[in-house]
Amino acid sequence: MIEELGRKIVELKKEFVRGYDGQSQIQEIIPKSFPIPEYHLEQLHEFAAKNPIYYNSFEKKIRDTDCVIYEGDINRYWLNSIEHDSSKAPFSPTWIMSGYIAALFARELGYFQVIDIGSGDGRIAFCAKLLEMKSYSIEIDCTLVELQKSLTHTLDFEPYCADAMTFDYSSLNLTRPIFFIGGLAQMGGATLASGVINAVSNPDAGWVFPGTLSKKYALDPKGGAGWGTLIEDNHLNKVQSISLPTAWTLHETDETLYVFAESQISNPN
Amino acid sequence: MFQTESQKLEGLIDSARPDMNIQEIVKIYYQVINVSSMAVMLKQTDSKPDLLEKILETEKMISEKFDSDIHPAIRKRLSVMIQQSSENLQSESERTKEQIESDAKLFEELRQNMSTREFVEQYENELSHD
């Protein structure tokens, strides 16, 4: 069922890209009807409509599905994020629908808390909260955290302006958390993930890594869409993966492969 | 082959000017690196005296004209351009769709300048380790 949602959104994205001739830096689509609860879909639209990174939207029918296209620009946030010496990966968002589908997986795998690391505008934490999981959003760029706070009026996904590698995770009283790492392994994600893994001492923690099979990036000798070495070095097991659209794969044939992993000594009971 | 590549480099160095575009900057650095690598390799072989003389002459040209003069000027100009466009693009004013999309092109130029500066700095790092 969740895989099917992923396939649908990828099909919509591919069809959308074929006909898109706009000039915006980033674009994403949210269908007006989709096999998820109507309230959830409304909230996803509201998150995009209120989000200042989007400056335009219009409706378009794609493959017989009425959708809203959101056009945005993150250049100013990018400029701000690269001025943080400790920023490991510049802000580039996943699609809101992708965040929702990945959070659905996290819930199905039995996790109670989602921690969105390098959260950008906090969309994954927002989606997890929408799915009634406890969620936290950790972002080093305080400008982005201010943006997140403007989006928490309906659902408080608890944004923190902090360095995720030195954050005190014990203060969150996590029981069965899953950490979504922001950024490809090759784009600073691996350094960020290593730092967070070291800071989290919870054998029941799950991990979600955004991977790529694109030839543009260096291959990891252990595979895992760029995460194989980190997964092996940290004694994790890959449990699931799903391909979903992101801002940085709009013109790519391959989507972003979200790799779900858990500790080899994980005890879900 | 060294003679040809060295002459090509000499032409690029002679025509170098402070306002070179990104492609011209990359081209001249590529040629400097190319010729320098050839020189290192050839000096390790039993080269004929006239070739050895040409190698030393070329190395002197790279050191005196490129490393001491052209490279610092390129580096400085890139830094100034990056600082100026970063400041201009950081404006907080409300922007229309057209302005945002026009600014996006300037951001793209900024990204290119930043990655060129990174490349230029990498050359400088290599120099300091020689």
Q: Suggest the residue from B99, B106, B107 to mutate for an interface test with chain A (most A CBs closer than 10 A).
A: B107
Beta strands in A92-248 (DSSP E): 113-117, 134-139, 159-161, 177-181, 206-211, 236-244
Q: Is A156 on the interface with B (CB under 8 A)?
A: no
- List the beta strands (DSSP E) in A99-166: 113-117, 134-139, 159-161
For range A224-238, the mean pLDDT? 96
pLDDT value at residue A268: 52
Cβ(B75)–Cβ(B117) below 8 Å: yes
pTM, two decimals, is 0.84
Give yes or no for residue A5 having a pLDDT over 70.
yes
Closest C-alpha to B58, from B124, B6, B126:
B6
Q: Answer whether A57 touches B (CB < 8 Å).
A: no
pLDDT in tens, A21-58: 999 999 999 999 999 999 999 999 999 999 999 999 99
Render pLDDT for A81-123 as a digit per residue (tens, 0 to 9). Answer: 777 655 667 788 999 999 999 999 999 999 999 999 999 999 9
Total domains in chain B come to 1
The one-letter code for the residue type at B125 is: N
The answer to whether the Cβ–Cβ distance between B104 and A73 falls below 8 Å is yes
* A75/B101 Cβ within 8 A: no
Domain that holds residue B99: 2-129
Chain A residues in contact with B83 by the CB 8 A cut-off are none
Predicted confidence at residue A125, as pLDDT, reads: 98
Nearest CA-CA distance, residue B76 and chain A, Å: 19
Tokens of B45: 């072989």
Chain B positions touching A76 (Cβ under 8 A) are 89-90
Among B residues 39-98, those touching chain A with beta carbons less than 8 Å apart: 86, 89-90, 95, 97
Q: Is A21 on the interface with B (CB under 8 A)?
A: no
Find, in chain B, the residue whose alpha carbon is nearest to that of A57.
Answer: B97
Burial of B68 from C-beta contacts in 10 A (0-12 / 13-18 / 19+): exposed
User: Tens digit of pLDDT per residue, chain B (130 long)?
Assistant: 888 999 999 999 999 987 899 999 999 999 999 999 999 988 888 778 888 899 999 999 999 999 999 999 999 999 999 999 988 888 767 889 999 999 999 999 998 999 899 899 999 888 776 6
Total Cβ atoms within 10 A of residue B28: 20
Q: Catalogue all structural domains in chain A, each as residue range(s) with its CATH number.
A: 2-263 (3.40.50.150)
Average pLDDT over residues A208-222: 92
Of all residues in chain A, the one with the smallest CA distance to B82 is A79
Of A179 and B105, the one with more pLDDT: A179
The predicted pLDDT at position A84 comes to 63
Chain B: residue whose CA lies nearest to A76: B90
Mean pLDDT, range A152-170, rounded to an integer = 95
Reading the block at residue A209, the tokens are: 């890594």
Contact assignment for A76 to B110 by CB distance below 8 Å: no
**In the predicted model, what is the mean pLDDT of residues A180-184?**
94
CB of A52 within 8 Å of a chain B CB? The answer is no
